[in-house]
Every structure is written in structure tokens, then in C-alpha cells.
């Protein structure tokens, strides 16, 4: 009997030792499971990150909007036609074509005839839009004096540039005289208006730049003109602005607190 009791006691001690040895292993397994669990962010943190991304996207869209504006104000040609036998060379610069079209429309419009101040406003607006290109030319010129490198001096020079654009450029006058719908003129209007207002507002004006560039590309090809890199850049940047603006509009709203 004594031997049997000793055997039972030995078995109990062995069971206790095995349980003690298993306990730290189970705790280690629990720690590993806890470490493997992913950290779940709250709805407020997600909304804050989304607002930060939206603010960055809006800033990026505004920075991109200055690229078409710079191309337009610097009077870069979007489509050109090289000189060939029996065909004159031609360049379509959206700013010049839009100014020429607006001035000639105002000269024969009954509404403007009843209110001559509108014609003055059109002329002043055209000269103001030509000022950045004249200022840039003065800054790049080595012969220009310091007093000629100012905004006021550039605006004075636009008087001759405005007259040359509206009255003396035969290629522009030929394009303006085409019957409506005059696609190059309408496309130039869209590009100028879209480029001017895109830095201030978003949404609609990117479509104006994109649509105007595509229409100008199509109409230029029909008349034997070649598209320039500036046209592709303006169209690509406007499409990028649309994508960035759409991404900026996606903001995760914070979860509503449950009522107790």
C-alpha cells in the first residue's frame, strides 16, 4: 500500500511540473498573437488623413493650373503651318486669335454700337492680356533699359502690339473672316477663358482647356497645320487637373457619435 501511495504522489508531482512548464509557453503564444494583430485606426484619424490628402491635392491642382496660363499669356503657338509653295506660313496663338476675334466682333456688334464703352473695355482687356508677354520680352532683351523693364512700360508697348495683332496680321484676319462655326476662334476663346479662370475656380474650366485644345488640334489638321508640344502639354495638364480635382473631392466624413 505504501508503494502505491508513493507512486500516486510521484505522478501528481510530475503532473504539476508539466503544467508549470506549459504555462509560460502559452503566455508566449498569446503575446505573439497580440503582436500579429493589426492596429485599427479610428474613424476620426482616417477623416483627418483624408482631409490632409484633399488639401494637398487642391494645392497640386492650383500649381498645375499655372502651366496652361503661362503658355497662353506668353503667346505660345499651339498649331503651326510651315511655309510651302503657294501656301503662306501661319501660327495659331490662342491669345492673339481670341483678341482679334473679340475686337472684330465688338466692331460690328449692334449691342456694342449702342454702348460704345464695351468696345473700350474689350480693347483694355486685350492690352492687359498682352502685357505679360511684352514684360517677358523686355526682361529677356539685353538692349532694353531698366525703365523699360517695368509693367507700366510693358503696358505702353502693348498699344503697338495690339494694333499689329488686330489690324496688320493678315493670317489672323483670314482666320477671323471664316464663316461660323469658326472652330479655331471658338477653341481659342475656350482656351483663354479656361486658362484665366482655372487658377481661381476648378471643375468646368479644365474642360474648357481640354475641349479647346482638342478642337484646335482637329481644326488645325483639317487646314494642314501641325500641332505643337504646347498644345499637348496644355491638354495633358488639364486632364491631370481633372484627375487631381476629383481625388481632392473625396473626403471621408467622420463617424457620427451614437446617442446614449
User: Model confidence over 81-126: pLDDT tens digits?
Assistant: 877 766 667 788 898 888 888 888 887 778 888 888 888 888 888 8
In a domain, 142, yes or no: yes
Q: What is the CB neighbour count within 10 angstroms for residue 157?
A: 18
CA triplet 159, 161, 167: central angle to 5 degrees?
Answer: 95
In a domain, 52, yes or no: no
pLDDT at 192: 92
Grouping H, G, I as helix, E, B as strand and the rest as coil, residue 120 is helix
Cell numbers standing for residue 153: 512700360
- How far is the first Cα of the chain from the last one, in angstroms, to the nearest whole number? 68
CA 120 remoteness from chain centre: 32
In a domain, 1, yes or no: no
In a domain, 154, yes or no: yes
pLDDT at 233: 92
Grouping H, G, I as helix, E, B as strand and the rest as coil, residue 220 is helix
Percent of the chain whose pLDDT exceeds 90: 4
**Number of folded domains that form the chain:** 1
pLDDT at 105: 83
pLDDT at 249: 66
In a domain, 219, yes or no: yes
The pLDDT confidence band at residue 74, using thresholds 50, 70 and 90, is confident
Q: Each residue of 152-205: pLDDT tens digit?
A: 888 888 888 888 888 777 677 777 777 778 888 899 999 999 999 888 887 788
127, 159 contact by CB (below 8 A):
yes
In a domain, 137, yes or no: yes
In a domain, 108, yes or no: yes
- pTM, to two decimals: 0.73
pLDDT at 85: 66
State which residues form the domain around 129: 60-75+93-248
The pLDDT confidence band at residue 33, using thresholds 50, 70 and 90, is very low
**What is the H or E stretch that residue 73 is in?**
helix 43-73
Query: Any idea how long the chain is?
Result: 260
In a domain, 253, yes or no: no
| Residues 61/62/67/71 CA torsion (nearest 10 deg) | 130
54 pLDDT higher than 80? no
Amino acid at each position: 500500500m505504501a508503494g502505491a501511495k508513493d507512486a500516486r504522489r510521484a505522478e501528481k508531482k510530475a503532473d504539476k511540473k508539466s503544467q508549470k512548464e506549459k504555462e509560460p509557453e502559452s503566455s508566449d503564444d498569446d503575446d505573439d498573437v497580440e503582436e500579429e494583430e493589426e492596429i485599427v485606426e479610428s474613424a476620426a484619424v482616417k477623416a483627418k488623413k483624408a482631409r490632409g490628402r484633399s488639401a494637398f491635392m487642391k494645392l497640386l491642382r492650383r500649381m498645375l493650373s499655372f502651366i496652361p496660363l503661362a503658355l497662353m499669356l506668353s503667346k505660345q503657338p499651339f498649331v503651326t503651318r510651315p511655309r510651302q509653295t503657294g501656301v503662306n506660313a501661319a501660327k495659331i496663338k490662342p491669345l492673339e486669335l481670341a483678341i482679334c476675334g473679340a475686337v472684330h466682333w465688338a466692331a460690328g456688334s449692334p449691342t456694342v454700337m449702342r454702348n460704345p464703352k464695351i468696345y473700350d473695355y474689350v480693347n483694355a482687356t486685350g492690352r492687359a492680356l498682352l502685357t505679360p508677354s511684352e514684360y517677358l520680352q523686355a526682361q529677356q532683351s539685353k538692349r532694353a533699359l531698366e525703365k523699360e523693364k517695368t509693367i507700366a512700360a510693358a503696358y505702353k508697348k502693348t498699344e503697338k502690339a495690339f494694333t499689329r495683332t488686330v489690324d496688320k496680321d493678315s493670317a489672323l484676319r483670314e482666320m477671323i473672316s471664316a464663316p461660323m462655326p469658326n472652330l479655331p476662334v471658338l477653341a481659342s476663346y475656350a482656351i483663354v477663358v479656361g486658362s484665366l479662370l482655372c487658377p481661381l475656380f476648378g471643375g468646368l474650366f479644365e474642360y474648357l482647356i481640354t475641349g479647346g485644345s482638342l478642337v484646335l488640334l482637329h481644326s488645325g489638321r483639317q487646314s494642314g497645320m501641325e500641332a505643337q508640344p504646347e498644345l499637348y502639354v496644355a491638354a495633358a495638364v488639364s486632364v491631370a487637373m481633372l484627375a487631381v480635382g476629383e481625388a481632392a473631392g473625396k473626403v471621408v466624413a467622420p463617424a457620427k457619435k451614437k446617442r446614449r
